[in-house]
């Protein structure tokens, strides 16, 4: 028995911000952003919070999978930008779509979040506890970037993407792994909250660590190393060769990272599905948004072997080999 992706979906806010628009906010240029990252534009929320993006994605998944909300067993949302500390985005989605029989929760693994969430859903389904799940990555990173820091604010975008998965006797997830290297946690952080209370003398000053803080070069190195090793391990464990792969859907953080990964793995660049030019880095939403586009374009057929792979804060990584 395995877990199969039956439907994909995605939703992004309507407002599109180009690199030229960014150059009006910080000292940057379309040339720098395009050459260093491959990003041309990104969707930025004009007020919709993360739950709105997640709910729209969930509704699309139900519609495309032909399921009623009451039939959903499990809802897992990956995010680092939830509306609240509590309730979880999962519970907010559960209420809005009316999935009264589901159990719902969130997980946090930054840009690897969708891979972690899908891995958890897969275990619940494979062990027979649940028959199906809605798994979503959703982010409004625009609320946690420092809009005066050109080295980070140009990179990120808002959006959500997801998959409806269910028990399958044939095609589905063949092999997967998730991993973490906590000793590197401080090379990419966001959302730090200080321990301020009436019994200590902490001053009421803004916390600079609330915003995305990143050592870009170290993250770049970690990304290329961890993803290459992870994809190699997953292929080896599955007994599948790189030639058999129809598409790789990587986390969309930087086209240069993907160039390195493609060269090291010996998988041609054309097999890496990219849409970073139109979305920027949407963290946990990036892999499912790209997968949904690939699916909507009809570029994958039943039985095709597809790799989903990403890396992110934590530091974390995750790779999945699926038979579509």
Residues of this chain that interact with ligand UT7 (CB under 6 A) are 28, 32-33, 36-37, 111, 150-151, 154, 214, 216-217, 219-220, 223, 253-254, 281, 312
Tell me if residue 251 is catalytic: yes
Choice between 230 and 254, CB closer to ligand UT7: 254
Choice between 94 and 112, CB closer to ligand UT7: 112
d(CA 101, CA 243): 42
- Sequence-ordered list of residues with C-beta below 8 angstroms from that of 189, at least 6 positions apart, any chain: 209, 212, 213, 214, 313
d(CA 49, CA 38): 26
Tell me the backbone φ, ψ of residue 98, rounded to 5 degrees.
80, 35
Choice between 246 and 264, CB closer to ligand UT7: 264
* Cβ 304 to ligand UT7 shortest distance, Å: 26
Write the DSSP assignment of 158-203 as a string of letters.
EEEEEEEEEEESSSSEEEEEEEE-GGGGGGEE--------TTS---
Choice between 132 and 252, CB closer to ligand UT7: 252
167 DSSP β-pair partners: 3
> Alpha-carbon torsion 305, 264, 249, 190, what sign?
positive
Q: Which of 19, 49, 251, 295 is catalytic?
A: 251
* Cβ 154 to ligand UT7 shortest distance, Å: 4
* Cβ 37 to ligand UT7 shortest distance, Å: 5
* Cβ 219 to ligand UT7 shortest distance, Å: 4
Question: Could you tell me if 322 and 291 are in contact, meaning their C-beta atoms sit under 8 angstroms apart?
Answer: no
> Whose CA is closest to 5, among 300, 258, 311?
300
Tell me if residue 132 is catalytic: no
Choice between 33 and 261, CB closer to ligand UT7: 33
Q: Which of 132, 281, 292, 295 is catalytic?
A: 281
> Whose CA is closest to 26, among 145, 171, 166?
145
Residue nearest to ligand UT7 (CB): 216
Q: Which of 111, 132, 254, 292 is catalytic?
A: 111
Tell me if residue 111 is catalytic: yes
Question: Could you tell me if 104 and 94 are in contact, meaning their C-beta atoms sit under 8 angstroms apart?
Answer: yes
* Cβ 31 to ligand UT7 shortest distance, Å: 9
| Residues known to be catalytic | 111, 251, 281
């Amino acid at each position: 028995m395995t877990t199969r992706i039956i439907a994909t979906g995605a939703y992004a806010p309507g407002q599109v911000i180009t690199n030229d628009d960014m150059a009006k906010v910080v000292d940057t240029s379309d040339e720098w952003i395009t050459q260093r990252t491959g990003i041309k534009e990104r969707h930025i929320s004009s007020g919709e919070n993360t739950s709105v993006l997640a709910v729209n994605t969930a509704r699309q998944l139900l519609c495309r999978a032909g399921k009623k909300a009451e039939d959903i067993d499990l809802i897992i949302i990956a995010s680092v930008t939830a509306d609240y500390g509590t309730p979880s985005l999962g519970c907010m989605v559960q209420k809005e779509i009316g999935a009264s029989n589901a159990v719902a929760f969130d997980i946090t693994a930054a840009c690897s979040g969708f891979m972690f969430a899908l891995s958890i859903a897969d275990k619940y389904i494979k062990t027979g506890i649940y028959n199906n799940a809605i798994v979503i990555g959703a982010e409004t990173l625009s609320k946690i970037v420092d809009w005066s820091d050109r080295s980070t604010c140009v990179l990120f975008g808002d959006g959500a993407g997801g998959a409806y998965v269910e028990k399958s006797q044939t095609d589905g997830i063949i092999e997967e792994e998730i991993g973490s290297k906590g000793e590197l946690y401080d090379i990419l952080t966001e959302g730090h909250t200080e321990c301020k209370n009436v019994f200590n003398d902490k001053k009421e000053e803004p916390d600079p660590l609330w915003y995305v803080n990143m050592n870009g070069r170290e993250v770049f190195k970690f990304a290329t190393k961890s993803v290459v090793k992870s994809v190699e391990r997953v292929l080896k464990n599955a007994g599948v060769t790189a030639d058999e792969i129809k598409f790789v859907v990587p986390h969309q953080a930087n086209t240069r990272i993907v160039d390195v990964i493609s060269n090291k793995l010996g998988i041609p660049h054309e097999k890496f599905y990219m849409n970073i030019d139109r979305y920027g880095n949407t963290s946990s939403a990036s892999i499912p948004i790209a997968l949904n586009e690939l699916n909507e374009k009809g570029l994958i057929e039943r039985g095709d072997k597809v790799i989903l792979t990403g890396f992110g804060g934590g530091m974390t990584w995750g790779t999945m080999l699926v038979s579509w």
